[in-house]
Structure 1
Amino acid sequence: MSSTCESILDENFPQAWIGRRGHIEWPPRSPDLAPLDFFLWGHLKSEIYATKSESLDDLRIRIINECRQIGPEMLSNVRERFEQNLFYCMEVNGAHFQHLIN
C-alpha cells in the first residue's frame, strides 16, 4: 500500500483501519472471515457430493443447480455469520477466535 493511501486512511480513520501492516492487523487468510471459505465451499460440497456424480457434465450441472438454490435468506444468514465472526475477531484483537464460534 502506498504511503499516500496510508495517509488518507490515517486521516479519515485514525487508528481504525484494517490492513496488512495497518493500525489493525488483518488476520492472514482467515477462513472464518471469508464467506466463500466458511460457507459456500462446504455447503456446495455437502450437497453436490451427497451422491456420486455420473460424469463431469453431471458434476457441472449439479454445481450450477446448487448455486441457483442459494437464495436471499441463505445469503442473509451468511452475512450475519460474517458480521459475528468480525466481532469475535475484534474481541480477541485479531488472534485466533475459533473457540468462540458455535
Structure 2
Amino acid sequence: MLIIPRYQDIPLASLRNMYYQIDGAPAHYARQVKDYLYREYPGRWVGRDGPCAWPPRSPDITPMDFYLWGYVKTLVYTGRAFETRDMLKEKIIWAFDQIKMNHQVLSRVGE
C-alpha cells in the first residue's frame, strides 16, 4: 500500500490525532483500502461505511465543496477577464484574503 511521503514527516503523536477523509471514488472502497484505514486510523476516518459518517443529506461533499468554493469562484470571476495566469492567481489570493477578514463567511462554511 502506498503512503503519501509527506506523512512520514508528521510526528507520530500528531498522526494519532488525525482523521482521514476519503471521497466517493469506487477504488477507495476496496476491501484492502478499508482494512488499511481501520488499522491505521481506528475510529478516525470519514467515508462510506466508515466509523465517521458523512454529514446527513450530503453523502459526497464537504462544506468546502458546497459553499466555500462556490463563494470563492463568485469573488474571483466577478468583473473583468484575466489576461494572464498571474492575474488569476492574484485574484484568488485576494478572494481568500477577503474571506479571512469576513468572519461571517467562515462561520457559514460549517452551516
| Worse-superposed segment, 48-57 or 62-71 | 48-57
**Which runs of structure 2 are paired with 1:1-102 in the superposition (5 Å)?**
1-2=38-39, 5=42, 20-22=48-50, 25-26=53-54, 30-31=60-61, 34-50=62-78, 51-70=80-99, 71-79=102-110, 81=111
CA distance in 2 between partners of 1:47 and 1:59 (Å): 11
Q: Which has the higher contact order (CA 8 A, sep 6+)?
A: 1
Structure 1 residue 60, shift from structure 2 partner: 0.4
Structure 1 residue 55, shift from structure 2 partner: 1.0
What is the number of residues matched between the two proteins?
68
Identity of paired residues, percent? 34
CA distance in 2 between partners of 1:4 and 1:44 (Å): 32
CA distance in 1 between partners of 2:65 and 2:96 (Å): 15
| Worse-superposed segment, 58-67 or 41-50 | 41-50
Runs of 4+ in 1 over 6 A off after TM superposition: none
Structure 1 residue 52, shift from structure 2 partner: 0.8
Q: TM-score normalized by structure 2?
A: 0.47
What is the RMSD of the two structures over their aligned residues, measured on CA atoms?
Answer: 3.1
Where 2:49 maps in the other structure, the secondary structure is coil
Higher helix proportion (structure 1 or 2): 1
Q: TM-score normalized by structure 1?
A: 0.51
Structure 1 residue 45, shift from structure 2 partner: 1.2
Structure 1 residue 23, shift from structure 2 partner: 6.2
Where 1:57 maps in the other structure, the secondary structure is helix
Distance 1:60 1:3, change over 3 A: closer
